[in-house]
Structure 1
Amino acid sequence: MNIKSLLLGSAAALVAVSGARAADVIVPVAPEPTDYVKVCDVYGTGFYYIPGTETCLSINGYVRYKITAFGGVTDDAGTEFLTNDEGDNYSVNSTVRVRLNFDAREETELGTLRAFARVQASNGGVPGEDAGYAMDMGYIQLGGLTMGYLDTLWTEDDGLLTDTDLALGDFQVNRISYTYAANGFSAAVSIEDDATGDWKPDVVGRLAYAGGWGRAYIAGSYDEAERGDGLPIAGLDSDGDTIFGVQPGQDGAFALKGGLSLKDLIATDSELRVEGGYAFDPSSYMTIGIFNGLGSDAFATAVSTLPVEWQVGAGYAQSFGKLGVALSGAYGQTFDYYNDSDVLVADNGKYYKVVGNVGYEITKNFDMLAEISYTKLDADLIGDDSDSLDQTAGFIQFVRSF
């Protein structure tokens, strides 16, 4: 065997081995196209499909910086019921709120399936104070069925047109409700947890009609709880001492409320609202907060949230491009004041509150609002002259929404 034959044989062997190994090489599969997030325009702007599903998700919210100023609540004798840490008869503070809304929707054979969650946190401007997030709202909807924690049906889409909207019974509750809607008409009923621990819930019903001209509604509520241990009210006796009173216990309470909203009646880009309510007995659905910044003691709680027998109110809002103005006012009467022995200590409690504000869109998604209000409460104390409390308050806020 010569050198030439040896080289040719070695080359042939190498080619054979290489061919055998080439058959075992793994050829990578070409990657599939990336499933980019797609816009979902079925439910309006801001929704995107969750990749790989038919569920549309929207995430939005805002950051708000707010400065509030509360004047001292003063009675006829000049007594001040609000002072700051330096002894002045007013309080000024700032707060920051961060809110996030999560809204998931998809279509099913039973209608739109929706889950909504809202979390938010606020701090009171105290150095070093942390603001932990908490659930402010969370509910499930399927067609006309709603279940979860949200505004009571009693205050759904009501209130006058200022930020302080003077709504009656403005609170959130665990509830199960159903709404039927067709051609602008809607009828709803809500079973609401009153947190008493018994099996009897509160019940709210509502009828409404909406069109291009505006809308009208009427609502009724049944508060099943006995009211003898709640709804505190306060006044002052002839010696200037605080009197705390409650309405004698009632086994259940009924209330009615209605409202009318008219668009562009007076001018283009305007809205006029009129609302009123009446309670046959003291009810948690007929309360209103009228004083601000008084603190958390019993007297502050009593005069800050009043049990209302009846109230009427109106509001008007007008837009001028980026500028908007609104004015609202309410006048009402409270239930009589009783002490713990069910003895009448004050009656003819009446109040009114007026609110005005100016808002401006500084730029897209960045707005400011300034608002001022005046409140007065009068009551006839038994064995004493008429006593009254009043307060002026206001705020300015800046909101960056997204």
Structure 2
Amino acid sequence: MNFKAIAIAAAAAAAATSAQAADLPADIAPVDYVRINDAYGAGFFVLPGTETAIKIGGRVRVEARFTDLLDDEDYSREDNNHNFRSRANLRIDTRTQSELGLIRTYMDFQYTSNSDSRGSDGVKLDKGYVQIGGFTFGLATSAFDLWTGELASNLFDRHLADDTVWQASYTHALGNGLTIAASIEDNADREQGVDIGVADLNKAGNTLPSFVAKVLLNQGWGYAGLSGAVTKVDTSVGRDSSEVGYAIAGAVGFNLDMIAPGDVINFQAAYADGAMAYVGAESDVADAVLDADGDIETNKAWSVAGGYMHNWTSELSSGVEASYLDVEAGAGDADFNQVVVAGTLEYRPVSGLLFSAGAGWKQDDVDGASKEDAGVLNFRVQRSF
């Protein structure tokens, strides 16, 4: 091929390329890539076209629970001596900076299915709230609650206040790890009714919210906290329409990294007058009793609890927790006390994956009656993401 032929071919190629380029749009819209935002922790990214950071996570847990292990337990034929349960949580957390400060929303959707003939939770909103600066509005952990336990197993409940409630609260940081909080909370879930001498406890309805306050100190060595609540005790029968109930609690926890990284030990004590849920009493323990004159006489109770979590290795840990509840019942009802001891062995071979085995023992001691013991075993597999 001579030089003239090469020149003609090059000119033709240039003309074709120019024609194709002319067919392309003059402006190409920039790609709006997803940006990582770790200012609020791992897992947050920025929603395209906004300044809102979002994190999507959750967990799935599957467990087997075995009861009716001791002679004192009396399960009827329609009850299951063992129960299998699957529970899934979907959690969505958003953060946006604004002129009002940080605006946060949090949603925790919980889906439960279990084989227990006594029912299944089904689908519920476990938590759902909006935070604006130091204010919280919605369904969130009660401001009263301090230590709620460490064990990763479904065993007998220790006598700890651990409830999610509707609330309007404010938390203020004073500096150096010290915060104070005040909260107005719906008492519907924590109202345990009045014993009027019939099968079911009497509840007059949710007529007034609870008022809660807390002071909490977080330091490198651990934490210390004090909380209190004032409630209203109602009944729809009797001469008195209501009484005032209250509760106080104190807790302290210590980081024991000198024994093993991540080791913690916790202690908590609580006292309640007409507010049994705040000391971790079971839901069938009434807040008060209606006496023969039709007056409301509040029940009184105190509880103590403690627990230690030890890490044998970075993957293997074990924990033990125990609690004691003492109830002084009014209007002739029997006083009683209850002891709970629980322990677990927990294995985390990779991040977010948990295998746990737990055992629990509970003893009820009612004045004038024999002591009754109950036992439970639990095995759990859980994946968090």
TM-score tier by shorter-chain length is: 0.7 to 0.9
Task: Name 1:346's counterpart in structure 2.
Answer: 334
The 5 A counterparts of 1:342-381 are 342=331, 344-347=332-335, 349-381=336-368
Q: Which has the larger radius of gyration?
A: 1
Alpha-carbon distance in structure 2 between the residues aligned to 1:375 and 1:130: 23
Instruction: Please state if 1:401 is matched with 2:384.
Output: yes
Alpha-carbon distance in structure 2 between the residues aligned to 1:33 and 1:27: 15
Specify whether residues 249 and 277 from structure 1 end up closer, same or farther in structure 2 by C-alpha distance, changes over 3 A only: farther
Alpha-carbon distance in structure 2 between the residues aligned to 1:178 and 1:143: 9
Structure 2: gaps (5+ residues): 1-18, 189-204, 289-298
**How many matched pairs?**
330
Instruction: Please state if 1:39 is matched with 2:36.
Output: yes
Give the counterpart letter for 1:33 in structure 2: P
- RMSD, aligned α-carbons: 3.0
Detail structure 1 runs of 4+ shifted over 6 Å in the superposition.
303-308
Specify whether residues 130 and 249 from structure 1 end up closer, same or farther in structure 2 by C-alpha distance, changes over 3 A only: closer
Specify whether residues 170 and 304 from structure 1 end up closer, same or farther in structure 2 by C-alpha distance, changes over 3 A only: farther
Instruction: Please state if 1:159 is matched with 2:141.
Output: no
Task: Name 2:304's counterpart in structure 1.
Answer: 312
Task: Name 2:218's counterpart in structure 1.
Answer: 210
Identity rate of aligned residues, in percent? 27
The 5 A counterparts of 1:2-401 are 28-71=25-68, 75=72, 80-85=73-78, 91-125=81-115, 133-155=123-145, 157-163=146-152, 166-181=158-173, 182-195=175-188, 196-198=205-207, 200-226=208-234, 251-264=243-256, 267-269=259-261, 270-289=263-282, 302=284, 309-319=301-311, 320-336=313-329, 342=331, 344-347=332-335, 349-381=336-368, 386-401=369-384
Alpha-carbon distance in structure 1 between the residues aligned to 2:277 and 2:378: 27
Question: What's the offset of the Cα at 1:229?
Answer: 7.2
Asked if the contact 1:223/1:283 (under 8 Å) is kept, the reply is no
Question: What's the offset of the Cα at 1:335?
Answer: 2.8
Alpha-carbon distance in structure 2 between the residues aligned to 1:214 and 1:40: 29
Question: What's the offset of the Cα at 1:308?
Answer: 6.5
Alpha-carbon distance in structure 2 between the residues aligned to 1:46 and 1:375: 40
Alpha-carbon distance in structure 2 between the residues aligned to 1:125 and 1:213: 43
Asked if the contact 1:101/1:117 (under 8 Å) is kept, the reply is yes
Specify whether residues 397 and 305 from structure 1 end up closer, same or farther in structure 2 by C-alpha distance, changes over 3 A only: farther
Asked if the contact 1:72/1:83 (under 8 Å) is kept, the reply is no
Asked if the contact 1:265/1:272 (under 8 Å) is kept, the reply is no
Question: What's the offset of the Cα at 1:74?
Answer: 5.3
Asked if the contact 1:145/1:176 (under 8 Å) is kept, the reply is yes
Specify whether residues 72 and 305 from structure 1 end up closer, same or farther in structure 2 by C-alpha distance, changes over 3 A only: farther
Give the counterpart letter for 2:334 in structure 1: A
Task: Name 1:14's counterpart in structure 2.
Answer: none
Asked if the contact 2:56/2:92 (under 8 Å) is kept, the reply is yes
Asked if the contact 2:310/2:317 (under 8 Å) is kept, the reply is yes
Specify whether residues 304 and 40 from structure 1 end up closer, same or farther in structure 2 by C-alpha distance, changes over 3 A only: farther
Structure 1: gaps (5+ residues): 1-21, 231-247, 290-300
Question: What's the offset of the Cα at 1:219?
Answer: 0.5
SS in 1 for 2:81: strand
Specify whether residues 216 and 229 from structure 1 end up closer, same or farther in structure 2 by C-alpha distance, changes over 3 A only: farther
Give the counterpart letter for 1:191 in structure 2: I
Asked if the contact 1:159/1:167 (under 8 Å) is kept, the reply is no
Give the counterpart letter for 1:115 in structure 2: T
SS in 1 for 2:284: helix
